Amino acid sequence: MKQQLAAIVESSEMLDHILETHSHHEQLLFEFRLDLDMGLLNEVGRINPKKVILTYRSRAEGGEGEKDQTARHRVLSDALNLPVGFVDLELKRDSNLLSRFENSEAEVVVLSLHDYTESMESVAQHYLECINKLNPDPELMEKLVFKCVGRPKDALDAIEAMDKFGDVKRRVVLGIGSQGELTRTAKCNQEFVFGAMSESIKVLSLDKLMEVHSADQPFLLGLMGKSLGHSLSPSIHDLFLENSAMKGHYHLFEAKTEDRFIRLVDRLKGYGIVGVNVTIPYKNLAYKLADIRLPPAELVEAANTLKYTEKGIVATNTDISGFERFLEANMLDRMSSALVIGAGGGAKAVIAALVNKNFKVHVSNRSKDRILELPENLLKRIVTVPTEETTCVDADLYINTTPIGMDGKISPTTLFPPSESIKAFVDIAYSYEKTGLVKYAGQMKLPAFDGKEMLFYQAADSFEFWTESTLDVPKLFRMWKERYGYA
């Protein structure tokens, strides 16, 4: 049977819209948020009452309800007297109402705990301890759904919270925010999951959830890194999914430490993830964790793309091919030499792409030791340039692979000044505003590019690697720029 989904209803007008748009969906439940609109109680009869969840949450629980316990219990007592499918009671504040449930009209009580102050795993552990202390009657237990909601610190935190409920038959374990999205998209025996019709509630949209859960095997993807709040990758992969036969979702999977990244890579195997991109600072570690390493990853000893297969985790590096596509699309591959600023993970992919295109590659970095850490097969193909001698380098392209200037306040040219031979500037970093290097190039009246295009092309190569399909990349790139105002 398909996963039951619950539409969060905030008003009578919203109910009208949901009924008009999704009334045909058999698995759809309706959560009436009484703390937002008490008038919703009058709307129960408009739909099958067995598909209704009545909820009343205070501000401490993420809602707008009264703090006064008497007023709260009056609302919930009225809810229990209605012949609805579910009434949502808060574990810490409403457990005394369980005694009334035996003689009520409601069929099921959802016993909830909302806590956004601790790690989600800690909240789940605390919830289960509270249930054990409450020790409900076994017959009552069969009529309860155990619901735990938190704000995960990272993606592993959400998974570990779900793991805590592994032996609980009727459960709803949900994470708020981007780090909790897997709790909603993965098919992991949840009683139901919520989708929102408005952006005021920070959860996935109902339309997206219905699309994902309508597929027998949803195509679940994601990006792994330490801090991902401003990533453009979801907007790119959403476009790819829209223009393919795949139904799925692209997640942001943060891991705050190397240890948590290692554990997360392993734990995602059990949640239907097809593949992930990897960004700073975990590309080298991703390469080491892979069971199978393809030549592009071996070339730079780093992986930005992993694919989960029956034979194990396969690693490749589409940063290289993405930069090659970028050079070709802008006819920069017709040039013959480049000065690369930086020697980190991004630099390795850029150098590899330039070498593949037969460029003469000069590399400058504040730490010469960092340059010496480049893979041997790249190190022997480059010329090392001291920072004070960058103006002497006869190169066509100036490529910044460092974070310098990402905020637009300074340019890497202040530390690594270019020679007069430079014909174009490339910054592999990107932001919503112009980077410092792009601003500098504008002042010099020379062509400049930031990292959005490279990002798009490497994303396309990753998507084709995961799906074994071919995208119309030029067309999709034009669509993406127009949709998000990057034209």
Token pair of 374 as six digits: 């480049």
Share of the chain above pLDDT 70, in %: 98
Residue 486 confidence (pLDDT) above 80: no
How confident is the model over 245-254, as a mean pLDDT?
93
Residue 55 confidence (pLDDT) above 80: yes
Q: Are 300 and 381 in contact (CB under 8 A)?
A: no
* C-alpha to C-alpha distance for 132 and 291, rounded to whole angstroms: 42
Q: Which residues of 241-252 are buried (b: 16+ CB within 10 A; e: fewer)?
A: beeeebbbbbbb
How confident is the model over 62-73, as a mean pLDDT?
79
Give how far Cα 243 sits from Cα of 121, 247, 432, 445, 469, Å.
Answer: 37, 10, 25, 37, 12
Of 369 and 432, the one with more pLDDT: 369
How confident is the model over 324-351, as a mean pLDDT?
95
What are the pLDDT digits (tens) for 345-379?
A: 889 999 999 999 999 999 999 998 899 999 999 99
Instruction: Quickly state the pLDDT bin for 1 (edges 50, 70, 90).
Output: very low
How confident is the model over 426-452, as a mean pLDDT?
92
Of 324 and 107, the one with more pLDDT: 324
What are the pLDDT digits (tens) for 80-89?
A: 888 899 999 9
What are the pLDDT digits (tens) for 8-41?
A: 999 999 899 888 888 667 789 999 999 889 899 8
* C-alpha to C-alpha distance for 207 and 204, rounded to whole angstroms: 8
How confident is the model over 62-69, as a mean pLDDT?
77
Residue 60 confidence (pLDDT) above 50: yes
What are the pLDDT digits (tens) for 111-126?
A: 999 999 999 999 999 9
For residue 202, the model assigns a pLDDT of 65
Angle at CA of residue 52, ends 48 and 55, nearest 5°: 160
Instruction: Quickly state the pLDDT bin for 416 (edges 50, 70, 90).
Output: very high
How confident is the model over 329-353, as a mean pLDDT?
95
pTM for the whole structure: 0.91
Exactly one of 51, 283, 357, 360 is catalytic; name it.
Answer: 283
Rg of the chain over Cα atoms, rounded to whole angstroms, equals 27
Instruction: Quickly state the pLDDT bin for 143 (edges 50, 70, 90).
Output: confident
In the chain, what are the domains? Answer: 5-214 (3.20.20.70), 222-316+456-484 (3.40.50.10860), 331-450 (3.40.50.720)
**Lowest mean pLDDT, pick from 114-128, 195-209, 338-352:** 195-209
Mean pLDDT estimate for the chain = 91
Q: Is 195 exposed, middle or buried (0-12, 13-18, 19+ CB in 10 A)?
A: buried
Q: Residue with structure tokens 């992919």?
A: 349
Instruction: Judge whether 226 counts as a catalytic residue.
Output: no
For residue 137, the model assigns a pLDDT of 79
For residue 74, the model assigns a pLDDT of 87
For residue 71, the model assigns a pLDDT of 82
Q: Are 62 and 33 in contact (CB under 8 A)?
A: no
What are the pLDDT digits (tens) for 81-110?
A: 888 999 999 998 888 888 888 778 788 899
